[in-house]
Structure formats: C-alpha cells, structure tokens
Structure 1
Amino acid sequence: MSVEAIAASVEEGQLLWQPSRAFADAAQITHYLEWLGRTHGLSFADYDGLWRWSVSDRDAFWRSIWDYFDVRSDGGIEEVVSPGPMEGARWFAGTRVNYAEHLLRHEAVAAPGETALCHSTEIRPVAQMSWQELGGKVRILATRLRAMGVVPGDRIVSYMPNVPETVIAMMATVAIGATWSSAAPEFGVKTVVERFGQIAPRIVFAADGYTFGGRPFDRRGEIVAILSELPSVEAVVWLPYLGLPVPETERPLFPFEDMLAGPAVSREEFAYARVAPDHPLWVLFSSGTTGLPKAIVHGHQGMVAEHLKVMTLHCNLGPGKRMFFYTTTGWMMWNAVVSALITGASAVLYDGSPVQGGIDMLWRMAADTRTTLFGASPTLVQSMRKAGVRPGELYDLSALDSVLVGGAPSTPETFQWFYENVRDDLWVTSQSGGTEVCTGLVTGLPTLPVHAAEIQCRCLGIDVHAWDEDGREVIDEVGELVVTGPMPSAPLFFWGDKDGERYHESYYATYPGIWRHGDLAKFTARGGAYIYGRSDSTLNRFGVRIGTAEIYGVAEKVPGVLDSLVICCEVPGGGFYMPMFVALEPGRLLDDALKAELAARLREDASPRHVPDEIHQAPAIPYTLTGKKMELPIRRLVMGHPVEKVVSRDAMADPALLDWYLDFASRDDVAARRTQGA
C-alpha cells in the first residue's frame, strides 16, 4: 500500500496511494459487490459503473441497501421513492423504522465488554463504555422519559458537551420517537434561543459547564437565561459536569444520575417506537450567521439507509473499527460520529481543546483509544504541519488505517503531510457534504487510489454533478455543485416553514427542480472531485470565477502565514475590490517582503487573477461556531451593509473578533475602494 517516494513538493492530483490487494479484498464495498453478484447477478467493470447504476436504477439500488443491511421495519417497502419532482420526494413508503434501534443493533451480538464508546475530555481520562452498558442506560433513560409523559413527536434538546451522557440522551430520545436537537455548551444565549425557540422543546438536557484550553466555563447563568426564553420547557435533566451547585430554576430539575437509577430494562422487554417516513428524527441547524438558522428536519428511514451506506461502504466501518472526528455537539459531524455505531463500529468522543497538552494531543488520544479512522479539519492539520508535528514517530498508531479530512477544502500538502508524518500506508480521504443532508455528497472509497487533495468519488445513490451557469454539466472545469435526483437524506422540511418557501429558496430556486448545494466543485474525468468553497462567496475577477480555496491553498503554504480569508466586492462601473486578510505566526509582521512573497506565490502557483488588491494582517480569521470561514458576512460588512443585517456575534467562534473587521470596514480608504474599486 505504501508509496515508495513522495515528492517534497506535491501537486494537486498527484498519485499518493494505491490500496493493496488484501486491503481492497477486505473492504466493505467489496463484500457488498460480491453480494450483488450472488443475489442479483450484477457486476460492474469499475466504481463508475456501480455509481451510474446506483443513480439510474434508484429503486433497485436503495432496495439493495435495505436488504443487504437487513433494515428492521414494521411493514415492507411499498414504494422506494415517490414519483415526480425531486423536491418533496418521499422515501420508503409502507415502512416504520427507528434510528436508535439500528444504532444499538450490534449490542445483541457484541461480546461481553466489547467497546461501543471510547471517550475522554480535558477533565475525564480516556475510558470505555461497552455495548451492554450503553444499551442498558439508553433503555433505562428512555423508559424514564416515557414515564414523564414524553410521546412521539415531542422535542427534547441538549446543551451539553461531547460526552457519553449526550449520546445516551440522544439515543433514548430517538428510541421513543421524540425529536432530538443539540447545541454545544459554548453557544451563547441568543444563539441557543434562536435555535430551540423555533421547535418549542418539552425537555432540556443541560450540563453546568464545560472546559476548553484548561479553563472551566460555568454555563449556569446561560442555562437560566435560556430557560426564561423557552416557555415550552417542562423539565430539565441536569448533568453536574463541573460539579457546580445547582442553580435556582422554576422548572423541575432531575439529576442525570437519578434518571439512570431505575431498574434495568432488557432488550426483549423494551419497545422501540418505529415511526413512519415523515416522522422527524432530529433537527439540525445551519450556522445562522446572517439570519435565523434554518431548522433542518431529517427522518428515521432516510438516515438509517444513508448512514448504513456511507459509514459502511464509503468509510469502511464495521465491528472492530473505531471512528474519531474532532467535533462539538453543535455540528452535524457529531451525529456522524455517533452514526458509526450503526455499522457495529465504536465511536470515539473527545471534548475540549484539540491542542490541550500539546498540538499533538489528538494523536496521543488516537493511540490510547486504538482509533482506526481519524478525522479532523484541514485547518487543524495545517497547524500541526506548520508546528512540525510527527505523530508517527511519537505514538503507536498501528491500529490506524484511514484518515478523513472534512469541514473545508483540503490542499495537496495536507494529504502529503499524513503520508510523511503519520504513516505511509494510510488511506487518506477528503469528503464533503453538509448539515442539510447530514452525510457526504462526494466521498471516499477504500478500493480506489488516493490523489493529492482529490475527493475520490461521488457517493453511491447521489446523482451529483458540476454545472455551469446555463445548467450544463462540466468536467475538469469548476461549476456549481448540484444534485439532480432525489436522495433519502434530504430534509423532510424546515421546522416552521409551513409553505416550504424557505426550503425551496435555499436549494431549488437557481435551477428549477434541481438541488443547488451552494459549493463550487470540479469533477475530473476519472471521477474524482475538488471542492473550492462556497459559491455565494465566489471571487469574480475580470469575468473569471475563482474559488476561495484556490487562494487559501497557496497563501497558507507561505512561511509565517497561519490562516487567511479573501473576499471580492463588486463596485460601480463593473469593477472589483479584492482584499485578503492573513493571520500570522506570533511575532511575525506583514511587511512589504511578505506581501511581495504572497503576491508572487499566488501569481506563479495560481494566476495573476488570484493576486488580491490588498493584503492586511488581521489578529485572526473569523469562523462560525461550526468551523466555517465567514467569507460572506465579512464581504457584506466591507461592502457597507449594516452589521446587524450581516452577522450575529453569537454565531461566531470568537465574537470579539468582529470589532476588528468592523473597524476595517469603516475606514475611509476602504469606503473609497468599495465605491471606486482598487
């Protein structure tokens, strides 16, 4: 599997890895293909043939997923997907399914003590929870919730860190047919109320605080304030994570430990609430940087089928595997990590700073937990790369066989870093999807080669393409990422969007009847893909569209540059103003020499159109609470839009950072640029 030599300077698309015969033969996708041959007489010359069948014979493909994974259901499939338009398509009519039942299905065959959850935080050492313990606690808590009068369709929400108690609360909620939603404890009061206020929750699971960077953060005041804005809440389940005194509240408060103190409930006597395809499973929220967050509702059937497919066939998970991705409970990647359980794999949880105790701490944790699939954002990996971390020399990572880089576009250097500094026989994959679908649209496959920065393939069953402005497919060119056929994990609806107008405007208004995802993408002739950032923050220079990731990939290779953000503002008369902001290593200043080097590298490695009009040193680059660069809000701010219509501070990872960008936007020279151009 190893590559004999990797060039010191890697180019986009360069071959980095080929699966060995043994690795490919053992892959989950190989077993599925063998099953298709035995049971349906189907065979395919390559992955492209398999993918084309999965989107052209949609009913047969998704029925095969249902049958191959033996989905447990009351009633059989009467209709795989409803005929007619993609928008509003409904899946698996005639079935009644429960998502939590499938998350816990492996418990019945797990060996005594076999691990379901590995978990740690800044104040809790690495520990493990068996399938039997996890299942037992879920059933006890679910039974207690039923005794409190919770019925299918009630909303239950969480304001807790990434700890096993949150997983247990989610699974217990879903097991009885209630609808789950979660906010990370670092979210501010306004951010939480904007989310939970839309869905009128009945019960709140809350922790007294969390830790980050070695500091405890008391959230009791925030919880009291949140409850005062949520009149629908009838009770609070309290987790004393920091051990702080319980605050005064008008709502009944039940200690989490007491909720688990009931008698054991066996698998045989517990009844999961199997629900119809239109029943809400959970509500995920968009970032909400420029308006009320979208309340995105998914269904049980769609998530069961999609997560069985993507986590097993594309992520190659199954019993004996362990998945980690650095995330918080406020991001869809938390749901994705928990979904590893649906394959029989273990989920690895961590809460806290990813660099607490050293920038290599996540690798130490990966070694301690025997993680097999390690996931992190490209930004975090870039920090490790620039710090000179060499995890493969420091830790026993022999259990690790794959890496998932997600959350933002990757660079060739990111891929190369894993092979040079972790292991030279890793399957490294970048994937891209979104909160809207809670899965990947373009993803990895363990039987395909790895090319630098390239996402390996389209996801099975997802009819995804790049289109130009006229709605024509483009290959080896950058275009809008679109999905041209229905997918099971598409939202059922947005909560509160009674006429569906907001849902339609979000995805279907640009190309009638076609899902426009909002990303810029390029598909290669060999079937791989590149994502170049959000299309609503596209840089339009002299009639040429540029993805912001193209600039970041070059700028952040320059020594001293930690992070960057670029925007392009249209000005009267057809001109443009394109400033770039850079965050530098401590002690570095943006002098003329560094500006010249950045401009030269962008001109040579990209094109003259990629060179910004100005480069400014910023204290840091602004991100949302879910780790997305705030390109569009900063662009609107610089263009002179009122801040209250541009961005919510509560949606920012570092709200105080907004003041620097406000000061920049209010400068006289910037005002002149946005009216006269650069």
Structure 2
Amino acid sequence: MTDRVGNGNVTSGVREGDRLWSPSAERVEAAELTRFMRWLALERGYSFPDYNALWTWSVDDLEGFWSAIWEYFDIISDERPESVVIGEGIFDAKWFVGTHTNYAEHVLRHEAKAEPGETALCHSSEIRPIAQMSWQDLGGRVRKLATKMRAMGIIPGDRIVSYMPNTPEAVIAMLATVAIGAVWSSAAPEFGHKTVVDRFSQIEPKLAFVSDGYSFNGKVFDRRDDVSAIVNALDHLKHVVWFDYMGFGCALSTDAEIISFDAMIEGPPVMRETFQYERVPADHPLWVLYSSGTTGLPKAIVHGHAGMIAEHLKVMALHCNLGPSKRMFFYTTTGWMMWNSVISALITGASAVLYDGSPVHGGVDMLWRLASDTRTTCFGASPTLVDNMKKAGVRPGKSFDLSAMDMVLLGGAPATPETFQWFYENVAEDFWVNSQSGGTDLCSGLAVGLPIQPVYAGEIQCRGLGIAMEVWNEGGRSILDEVGELVVTRPFPTAPLGFWGDDSRSRYYESYFGTFPGIWRHGDLAKINCRGGVYVYGRSDSTLNRFGVRIGTAEIYRVLERVSGVKDSLIICVETDGGGFYMPLFVSLDANTTLTDALRKEIVSRLRVDASPRHVPDEIHAVPEIPYTLTGKKMEIPIRKLVMGMDVDKAASRDAMAKPAALDWFIEFVRQRAGR
C-alpha cells in the first residue's frame, strides 16, 4: 500500500510525504474534475497535461477560469457578468460585476431534478433518531418560511440571526433568509450570552431564530435565560422565532413579536413555480461569520452571493468530488464555518448529514456508527477528534459497514502523517483521505483535495483552482520546500466584502494586508513542495522562534501525540529581555499519569530525536486542561500574550472559550512566575 517517496521526519513507520494511496483509473475517469478538464478542451480549446498546468492557468487568467466556472456550472443570473473581476488587488477587487444571483436558489434548484422522496438531509441528535428530509420537503418548508418572513416585513439587507442547534430547522431558516435577500448570521447554543451579544449586536438584527436548549453527552442544557439576555440586548430586534427543541416552552419577556417555528412552516404549500428568489447584486451580503474573538471583539466577516456560489460549486464539485448520490458529513456546530460548508454540499446536489450533540455520546465510535447508518460517502472531522479516537483504540473498518464511504475530509487543524496513516490502517485501504486548509475568513479552502492524484502522508494535495496561493519568506519572496508565510497574491471571489461596521475598511486592511501591502497574509505557517503539495504547521503568529529558526507548533504536537500518558499539549514561545526566548510546554495528562522526571526525559528525548534539539522546550508543566476556543482552536496566542504580561481581560475572552475554567491555571502560573 505504501510507496515511500517522501523525505520528511521519520516516526512510527510513516514519514512526512510518504505516498499512502493512489486513485484507480476508474476513479480518475469518474471524477468531476476530469469532466471539467474535458469540457475545457472541448468548449474552450484549453488542454492541460496535469493539474499543476491547470492550476497555473487558473491563477494567471482569472477572467478565463472563473468565466469557465460560471458557464460549466450554469450559474443562474439575470444577466452574464459585465466583467468577471475588476482590479488587480485583492483588497479592492470587484467580482462578477453586473450580475444578480441568489445562493439559496442554486441550492434548491436540485429539488426540480430530484426523484420524489430523494434525500436532501440526513439528520439526528442525542434526542432525535436518524431521519431523512427529501428535497421536496426541504424546498417546501423553505418557501413557506421565506414567504411568512416577507409578510412580516423582512426585506433584502435585513440581518437575521440564529441561536439554534445543528438541526434541519437551522438549515431551513438559513435558506429561507438567504432566499429573500436577507443576511444570515449564526451562533451555536453552547455559546454564552455575552459572546453572542458581542457578535450579533454589531449587525443590528431585525429577527432572531432561537432555541430553548440543547443536549450534550446526555446532559440537558436549558438556555432560556441566555436567550432572554440575548434578545433583550439587541435593540433593533422586532421578531423572535421560537424553536421548542427540548420541550421547555417559551419563557421570554420582550417587546419583540414572538412566534413559534412550527407556525412559520405551517399552512398551504408555496409552489416552486410561483416563488420568487431575491436575486441580488454580487456585492450584496450573504452571511456574516465571526473570528474567534479570543483577544477582542470578534471580526464580523461579510461574504457575498455570487462569489460564494462560484467558489462552493468549484470546491465542492471539483476538489471534493461531491454531487448527486453523495452524502457529506462533518462534525460541527452552527457556530463554525464548517456548518456553512456542510450545507454548501447541497449546491452540488449532494445530501448533507447533520448531527447535534457530543461526538462520543453512546461511545467513542459514535460518529462512525452514524456514518454507517446514514451511508455517508464523505466523512469529516478535525484531526484532534480523530486522534482521540486513535488513542481510544477505535477501528471503524472492522466494527461498521463503511462500504459507502469513499472520502475522509480533515479540517480545522493541521493533520499529521500518522493521522493519515491511521485511516488507511483502520478504516479502509482503498479510499481518499483529503485534508484541507482555509478558514472562516473565506468560508472555503485555500489548500484543498485533488481526487485524481495520490495522497501523501501529512500533505494537503494541492492549491485550489483560481487561488494564487504562495509561501513567502520574511523578505516577501516566494519560496518552495521551505517554511514561510501562507499568502494569496491575486484576487479570489470569496475574499470578504469587508467587516460589518468597518466603513473605512481600515480594520479589514490591517487584518490581512498590513504585513505585505496589497497581499493577503492568511496567518498560517506553511510549505509548498515541488509537486504542489502543501503542509500547514499552525498559526504564524504563534510561531516558535528557537535560535533564529521558525518552528510550527504542529511539529511539536505531532511528536507528543505518540508519548504515552500525554493527552493534550500546548506550546508557546515569547521574547525575553536581551533578545532571548522562553519556550514553555504545557501538557495535560491521562488520569493515571503524573509528570515525573522520567516522563519529562521521555518528552525531551522524543522531541530531540523525532524533531530536532530546537524543538525541546525550556520547561514542561502539567496542567489540568488545555484551553480551547468555542470552535475548537487551541488558545496559543492568548496564552502567549498572558505569559508576556498582558492583562488577562485583554489577553483572553472567557466567553469565547469552550471551558473558561481552563484559563485559571495559566493565570496562577503567570502570577507565580512574576513573583520569582
């Protein structure tokens, strides 16, 4: 199965860059990307010998490539684009000028093509068994809800917010909002009210969809008090749609009109032929997503309809190979951009698989049971979640029928070579392990999968079509086979329209373009190799600097995953007086493990041998728990700021944390260190 062609570090029998899998000729032939390349040759006269040649054309000729995407996927608009893109710079580029489109229309156009009863959504939760919703049911409920929202006075441009779990009701609410040209924004019900108000108050919503609570790992959470605090803090709110998910009932006291979700989708059908989607200009807001907000007010990131339609059709069909008969699952909540990505699978005609609850409710292998029962074809999860399964000894391929599955999608954090190998050893030998990297900023991927080429351990297969991604050194020069800053040098259609309320666009410019003027600096430390594969090593603003050498935090975590007794870890590096550096390592340990001198020596030895002497920390400390954001990111930067002496309220927001108490140990650590 493994043809060793890599030249990376060696651990556990697999090296960074080892070839783990190659697609069969039949898979390549059936890939949507292959069909697209044939179409380009037939319709446009463009013939490319390989993917790298196709990619080079796609970034050199943005007009030609994105017009081909528009035509190939038959994007619906009242008119063809006057210009695909105007402007050479990302910051001020204008996309698909003159068009009027609607994202929801492109999702629900598959209703007309679907067989009666054909599945659009598979869904379940801790309190609901697995069920299915057909394209006809989904479209019908969206039209009813959208029509009633219009009757309530919701007009294009109004902001609509959601505090709902990952259920079909949330999908219906999102599509109905978008269908009438209103602007969608979502937070998950596990978010505390202050975190939600920090987000939603920026955009002044007119209507809110809210849920009474949720269940996680068998425990029921009543969120009615949080809902009340949120609703009463939003001064512009006129309507509240109440989703009685847990059966607690509505207990709101507010001046806003309150109506039940069920009432909003009742009544006579609204026929597909008579319903009018609100087709809006390309720069009309589609949705607002938010940065993590761990060190300040979250950025309210605005995306547009036309750019997101074109990008999601491209990435989901060509890079994820999704389409009718496929089913996509990714473990997420409604507060993370991956929820939007799961719903975007529908734009290809694929089904979306939803789950609300703990990933280990009923057993650590619960998600694999769900994948088997729903006949999921694309299984998605973060590498951290997968590594926990690996440590628990889960062997999904032996326990479940996963014969429908042909692809795994890893996202949310860098995936190690060992994580790749685990899938081939424990799930199936012949399937596609697809790692991607992008983020909330663009609600898509920069480095993505490629169904027609081999999988190499730890390596993201390629740069996305139409994405002029490079890696630059500190001098602003493009480099290969070296670690540097991940940048994008030419316009791409899902660059944010801006941040809500940032009328001067100064905060937007400072966030992405301040380091290399006019060039998008994504904030990741990465490497591109000579075949076009990509490695991401973590956030560049949490880069470790050891004796002048930049080290990605993922390099440390990869080694520590193999140290028995170490459950999780976090490492930072801070500058000290006199130009030195201080690099402490924090580890959380298994229940029956303590940080002995022997364990310290083993950690140091593993890092020295499996990585390098520069990877060895100055100190190792045991902590009760590693702090994470609500969206599952390790809080490296806030902890670094805390250790550097920043006030805790400025360094980290507890409201943006999954477990706020995890910060307490670090506060005491800094206090004691300051008293030395």
Q: TM-score, structure 1 length as denominator?
A: 0.98
Instruction: Tell me the residue number matched to 1:317.
Output: 322
Please tell me the residue identity of whatever aligns with 1:196: F
Please tell me the residue identity of whatever aligns with 2:607: L
Instruction: Tell me the residue number matched to 1:168.
Output: 172
* Separation of aligned partners in 2, 1:28 and 1:8: 35
**SS of the residue 2:324 aligns to:** coil
Residues 308-317 or 632-641, more deviating: 632-641
* Separation of aligned partners in 2, 1:5 and 1:585: 34
Instruction: Tell me the residue number matched to 1:491.
Output: 496
Question: In the TM superposition, what are the counterparts of 1:21-420 in structure 2 within 5 Å?
Answer: 21-250=25-254, 251-420=256-425
* Separation of aligned partners in 2, 1:620 and 1:44: 51
The one of 436, 439, 446 aligned to 2:444: 439
1:630 equivalenced with 2:635 (yes/no): yes
Instruction: Tell me the residue number matched to 2:8.
Output: none
* Separation of aligned partners in 2, 1:253 and 1:238: 7
**SS of the residue 1:485 aligns to:** coil
Q: Deviations over 1:501-552 (max 9, x none)?
A: 0000000000011000000000001110000000111111111111101111
Question: In the TM superposition, what are the counterparts of 1:495-510 in structure 2 within 5 Å?
Answer: 495-510=500-515
Instruction: Tell me the residue number matched to 1:578.
Output: 583
* Separation of aligned partners in 2, 1:146 and 1:671: 62
8 Å contact kept, 2:209–2:241 = yes
**SS of the residue 1:549 aligns to:** helix
Distance 1:570 1:242, change over 3 A: same
**SS of the residue 1:52 aligns to:** helix
Pairwise CA distance, 1:94:
1.1
Instruction: Tell me the residue number matched to 1:465.
Output: 470
**SS of the residue 2:609 aligns to:** helix
8 Å contact kept, 2:471–2:483 = yes
1:530 equivalenced with 2:535 (yes/no): yes
Instruction: Tell me the residue number matched to 1:675.
Output: none
Q: Deviations over 1:592-649 (max 9, x none)?
A: 1111111001001111010001111111111111111100000111111100111110
8 Å contact kept, 1:3–1:424 = no
Please tell me the residue identity of whatever aligns with 1:17: W
* Separation of aligned partners in 2, 1:591 and 1:83: 60
The one of 542, 562, 566 aligned to 1:557: 562
8 Å contact kept, 1:521–1:532 = yes
Please tell me the residue identity of whatever aligns with 1:317: L
Pairwise CA distance, 1:665:
1.2
**SS of the residue 1:199 aligns to:** coil
Please tell me the residue identity of whatever aligns with 2:291: S
Pairwise CA distance, 1:587:
1.3
Instruction: Tell me the residue number matched to 1:676.
Output: none
Q: Deviations over 1:467-503 (max 9, x none)?
A: 0001001101000000000000000010000100000
Residues 445-454 or 556-565, more deviating: 556-565
* Separation of aligned partners in 2, 1:83 and 1:644: 41
Please tell me the residue identity of whatever aligns with 1:53: W
8 Å contact kept, 2:303–2:495 = yes
8 Å contact kept, 2:289–2:440 = yes
Residues 658-667 or 119-128, more deviating: 658-667
Q: Deviations over 1:66-95 (max 9, x none)?
A: 000000001111000012422121100111
Please tell me the residue identity of whatever aligns with 1:156: I
Structure 1: gaps spanning 5 or more residues: 673-678
**SS of the residue 2:41 aligns to:** helix
Please tell me the residue identity of whatever aligns with 2:530: A
Residues 645-654 or 657-666, more deviating: 657-666
* Separation of aligned partners in 2, 1:83 and 1:612: 46
* Separation of aligned partners in 1, 2:608 and 2:3: 32
Q: TM-score, structure 2 length as denominator?
A: 0.98
The one of 588, 593, 597 aligned to 2:602: 597
* Separation of aligned partners in 2, 1:276 and 1:509: 29
**SS of the residue 1:667 aligns to:** helix
* Separation of aligned partners in 2, 1:4 and 1:161: 44
* Separation of aligned partners in 2, 1:42 and 1:392: 42
**SS of the residue 2:460 aligns to:** coil
8 Å contact kept, 2:91–2:518 = yes
8 Å contact kept, 1:624–1:652 = yes
Pairwise CA distance, 1:379:
0.5
Pairwise CA distance, 1:5:
11
Pairwise CA distance, 1:266:
1.0
* Separation of aligned partners in 2, 1:262 and 1:660: 55
* Separation of aligned partners in 2, 1:623 and 1:105: 39
1:568 equivalenced with 2:573 (yes/no): yes
Please tell me the residue identity of whatever aligns with 2:620: I
**SS of the residue 2:581 aligns to:** strand
* Separation of aligned partners in 2, 1:17 and 1:440: 22
Instruction: Tell me the residue number matched to 1:653.
Output: 658
Q: Deviations over 1:362-386 (max 9, x none)?
A: 0000000000000000101111111
Please tell me the residue identity of whatever aligns with 1:621: I
Pairwise CA distance, 1:8:
5.7
* Separation of aligned partners in 2, 1:84 and 1:429: 31
Structure 2: gaps spanning 5 or more residues: 6-10
* Separation of aligned partners in 2, 1:120 and 1:585: 31
Instruction: Tell me the residue number matched to 1:423.
Output: 428
* Separation of aligned partners in 2, 1:148 and 1:363: 42
Pairwise CA distance, 1:109:
0.6
Distance 1:5 1:578, change over 3 A: closer
Distance 1:571 1:671, change over 3 A: farther
Pairwise CA distance, 1:664:
1.2
Percent identity of paired positions between Structure 1 and Structure 2: 66
Please tell me the residue identity of whatever aligns with 1:284: L
8 Å contact kept, 1:88–1:492 = no
Q: Deviations over 1:315-338 (max 9, x none)?
A: 000000000000000000000000
Pairwise CA distance, 1:671:
5.5
8 Å contact kept, 1:3–1:425 = no
**SS of the residue 1:272 aligns to:** coil
Q: Deviations over 1:122-179 (max 9, x none)?
A: 1101100000000000000000000000000000000000000000000000000000
